[in-house]
Amino acid sequence: MANTSDSLSVLKSLTPLGTVTTSAASSLLTVKSSKAISCKKSSLATAQLIRRYHTLNKELSKCLARIESSKANDNSSSHGHSQNYSQQDTAADLARITEIRQEMDDLGGLDMYQKASTLGQSKQRGGDSSKWLVPILESHYLQLNKKPGLPLRLLDIGALSPYNYQKYSSWIQTTPIDLNPQDPLIAKMDFLEMPIPTDREHLFDVVCLSLVINFVGDPKQRGEILRRSTYFLMPGTGILYLVLPLPCIQNSRYMDHGLLVEMMQALGYTSLLKYHFARKLAYYAFKLDAAVAAPKNKHKAHRSSENVAHPLFPKKLRHDKPNRNK
């Protein structure tokens, strides 16, 4: 842990542009290190912070889900707590939730996580993920553009920067949103609460979910975000751009490329236009089937904590190997 906190202190001293902001960390950087060492340190710190934040976020969602599902059970039966989840379990989960939130705050919260992710996006580490998408949009431009003369409408969910598509602004108009915007040009918005377009004019040609699904700790919310994306896209032509860390696809016990494609098909993403596995990330471009329509009861199609009694894709072991992620 000593290493982690040392690295974190270096990270905390850096803005996304690499400017030192605290004197303690400044001396750490200037006294100890050449540019190369500080870069290596901040890169290590970035990766450690992101990893730890994800782990905490996932654990937090699990604790919250257990409490929610026990409440739901209590409401539906008169027997009080189920035998599997006692009052002590609730107390233990509540205590753990407090600890997790404290540790997340100590790390700097979502804001620090986003700054670390922005560092991860910076040019020397490969840039943002718009690079992979743009050639696909170019090659599908004629099918995508139903309104000649107007730019494509792109919804960037979980955008760290509003400038990812700036170079292409003559033909791509971006709507960047985030829970905690890092720039005034990004709208503060929870996609799970974003009003569903009621007419074709407000639908999008492209929805981007780059490194967002893996950020969300609760599997039900992950599914809900993917399902909801279909209500924002132009049926028949709309493209969902999904980016995931490669281990989510290649090193999970429960998920792989085949299952992801099946799940996406079930949502209406029946054509996989293109995919690519890079060193660290998996890139997917799916096209939305023409038959997909928004739900009748739009108000139900938002953040859902309801229990799914019969999930279409129950959690099932697919790769029983000890070195795979759980």
Ligand X SMILES: C[S@@+](CC[C@H](N)C(=O)[O-])C[C@H]1O[C@@H](n2cnc3c(N)ncnc32)[C@H](O)[C@@H]1O
Feature table: binding site for S-adenosyl-L-methionine: 158, 178
Q: Out of 132, 165, 204, 215, name the contact with ligand X by CB under 6 A.
A: 215
Spatial contact of 153 and 164, defined as CB atoms under 8 Å apart: no
Per rule CB under 6 A, count of chain residues that contact ligand X: 23
Q: Which is nearer to ligand X, 70 or 182 (CB)?
A: 182
SS3 174: strand
Residue 276 burial (10 A CB sphere; 0-12, 13-18, 19+): exposed
Q: Out of 5, 129, 252, 304, name the contact with ligand X by CB under 6 A.
A: 129
Stretch that binds ligand X, among 63-71, 136-144, 152-160, 287-295 (CB under 6 A): 152-160
Return the closest-CA partner of residue 231 out of 204, 209, 262. 204
> Which x/- pattern over 48-77 shows residues binding ligand X (rule: CB under 6 A)?
------------------------------
Is position 121 an interface residue for ligand X (rule: CB under 6 A)? Answer: yes
Q: Which is nearer to ligand X, 105 or 190 (CB)?
A: 190
Q: Out of 44, 47, 179, 292, name the contact with ligand X by CB under 6 A.
A: 179
Tokens of 174: 């971006």
Rg (CA), the chain: 21
Q: Out of 57, 61, 114, 229, name the contact with ligand X by CB under 6 A.
A: 114
Stretch that binds ligand X, among 14-22, 173-181, 248-256, 314-322 (CB under 6 A): 173-181
Is position 160 an interface residue for ligand X (rule: CB under 6 A)? Answer: yes
What element of type H or E holds 157?
strand 152-157
Looking at residues 235 to 254 of the shown chain, list those that interact with ligand X (rule: CB under 6 A): 243
| Whole-number Å distance between alpha carbons of 43 and 20 | 15
Is position 178 an interface residue for ligand X (rule: CB under 6 A)? Answer: yes
Helix segments in 77-195, DSSP class H: 87-107, 109-121, 130-139, 141-144
Tokens of 319: 């790769």
Is position 259 an interface residue for ligand X (rule: CB under 6 A)? Answer: no
Can you say whether the dihedral through the CA atoms of 198, 221, 263, 53 is positive or negative?
A: positive
Of all residues in this chain, which one has the CB nearest to ligand X in the complex? 158
Is position 180 an interface residue for ligand X (rule: CB under 6 A)? Answer: yes
Is position 177 an interface residue for ligand X (rule: CB under 6 A)? Answer: yes
| Whole-number Å distance between alpha carbons of 16 and 122 | 8
Give least dist CB 211 to ligand X, A.
4
Return the closest-CA partner of residue 174 out of 183, 162, 184. 162
Which residues would be at the binding site for ligand X (CB under 6 A)?
110, 114, 117, 121, 128-129, 157-160, 177-180, 190-192, 210-212, 215-216, 243
